[in-house]
Amino acid sequence: MLKFIVLAQVLIAILYLGKWGLFVTLGLSIALVIIYLWITKNSLKKNYSKLKWEEMPWLYDAVAKMSYRAGISMPNIYILDDYIPNAYSFRNSLVLSLGLFEVLSENEILGVAAHEIGHIKNGDTILFPMVAYGRYLMLFLVAVTSLFSHHKFAIFVSLILYVLYEIERVNFFKKREFRADETALYLLDRPFNLKDALEELKYYEDLRITVKESALPGIEPNIERKQKKSFMTTHPSYDERILRILVEIEAVELLDNLK
Amino acid sequence: MEPHEFKLNAEGLKAVLPPLEAEIMEYMWKVKVATAGEVYEQLKKNHKDLRRSTVSILMNRLCERGLLERSVETGRGGMRYVYSITTTREDFEKKIVESILNALMSNFKEATFAYLSKIKK
């Protein structure tokens, strides 16, 4: 769906701006690719260190095993110097922050790593930057069309397409997160590792916000934060993910029992 | 670290720090350097429901308060954070007394001075 929206936006630009619209689209696309490559190349210079087998054999071996199961080559594992628990993947690499090692057990860290391998296997490390940078392309084309086409219809359609892109982008990211979770369940020896990790990370985030928001420096770990709903959030909530994981595990167990 | 509040009915460090942070500092002053995992294991003896996340958040909060500092250590178990104390317990207590007395002297100078003189006698 997203590619059709982008295609329609490009067509509007070409139809109403002619050759100039085509050059702008091509030029901006090339510029965005260069910016992406530059950012991914330079963002790894500080605060990251590449994990060696002898540093954490349990993690290295488990990632190798899960990558084999996923049918991908062994990813690079980077450790990020950040006390906030965080994990993400890019190209054929996964990044785990030091904060994760402080709050999660080894099994739970493997759950997080499996989710990131799921992203790599599903091609999200290529798709996500394209969709994220596609947003800038869309925004730029809306601006160019609005400023230079002088056609109310073109401006209107261009704006509608941008809004559609934003809605579809949010849905796309959410779907891919669920899919990465689903993939992770098949990669893990113990599928509940991912659920346990998400529960702990949810607890961490809730507690951190409670501590931050509290006027007094005390904490009340049992206070549950009310979920702030935002329709533009690209990540599904922990609760949604945990629920889906439980449903998936139940479904697999049921199917196994029926066999 | 400058204390911003003093709980009159709390005991010891808990008068200026939240209870769990006070317990963490008590332990840290004993061992001087520790990981969040080690502190968690120690505190868990008295707090059965304690979670690693709570200890991690509170230790990083103590870093923000300037009572602990965090550094990366690379050892046999890979990279990890280690926390160390920035001040001794004695210096910390001295600073609290100084801050409180300074506040009392600037807000209630005569009463504080009279009371201190009375104690001295």
Same domain, yes or no: B22 and B56? yes
Q: Is residue B10's pLDDT more than 80?
A: no
pLDDT category of residue B1 using cuts at 50, 70 and 90: low
Query: Which residue of chain A is at minimal alpha-carbon distance from B53?
Result: A103
Residue numbers of the domain that contains B23: 10-86
In a domain, B38, yes or no: yes
Q: What is the 3-state secondary structure (H, E, C) of B43-108?
A: HHCCCCCCCHHHHHHHHHHHHHCCCEEEEEEEECCEEEEEEEECCCHHHHHHHHHHHHHHHHHHHC
Which sign does the torsion angle of CA B51, B56, B62, B67 carry? Answer: positive
Same domain, yes or no: B70 and B19? yes
**pLDDT recorded at residue B58:** 92
In a domain, B95, yes or no: yes
- pLDDT tens digits, B29-39: 999 999 999 99
Residues with Cβ within 8 Å of residue A165, at least 6 apart in sequence = A2, A5, A6, A9, A134, A135, A138
Q: Is residue A156's pLDDT more than 60?
A: yes
Same domain, yes or no: B98 and B120? yes
**Nearest CA distance, A173 vs chain B (angstrom):** 27
Which of A219, A222, A238 is the mutation pick for testing B, counting most B CBs within 10 A?
Answer: A219
**Nearest CA distance, A6 vs chain B (angstrom):** 43
Query: How many domains does chain B fold into?
Result: 2
In a domain, B4, yes or no: no
The answer to whether residue B53 neighbours chain A at the CB level (below 8 Å) is yes
Instruction: Select the more confidently predicted residue: A111 or B99.
Output: A111
pLDDT category of residue B3 using cuts at 50, 70 and 90: low
- How many of the other CB atoms lie within 10 Å of CB of A92? 14
Residue numbers of the domain that contains A224: 2-258
- The count of C-alpha atoms lying within 13 angstroms of the C-alpha of A98, restricted to the half-sphere facing its C-beta, is 24
The ipTM assigned to this model is: 0.78
**With an 8 Å Cβ cutoff, are A217 and B60 in contact?**
no
**Nearest CA distance, B55 vs chain A (angstrom):** 8
Residues with Cβ within 8 Å of residue A141, at least 6 apart in sequence = A9, A10, A12, A13, A24, A25, A28, A158
The answer to whether residue B7 neighbours chain A at the CB level (below 8 Å) is no
**pLDDT recorded at residue A213:** 57
In a domain, B3, yes or no: no
Same domain, yes or no: B48 and B63? yes
Same domain, yes or no: B82 and B31? yes
Same domain, yes or no: B117 and B77? no
Query: How many domains does chain A fold into?
Result: 1
In a domain, B40, yes or no: yes
In a domain, B102, yes or no: yes
- pLDDT tens digits, A177-207: 999 999 999 999 888 899 999 999 999 988 8
Please compute the mean of the pLDDT values over residues B65-74 and round it to a whole number.
90
- What residues in B contact A104, CB-CB < 8 Å? 52
In a domain, B79, yes or no: yes
Read off the CATH number of the domain in which B19 is found.
1.10.10.10
- pLDDT tens digits, A200-244: 999 998 888 877 655 333 343 433 344 445 556 777 888 888 998
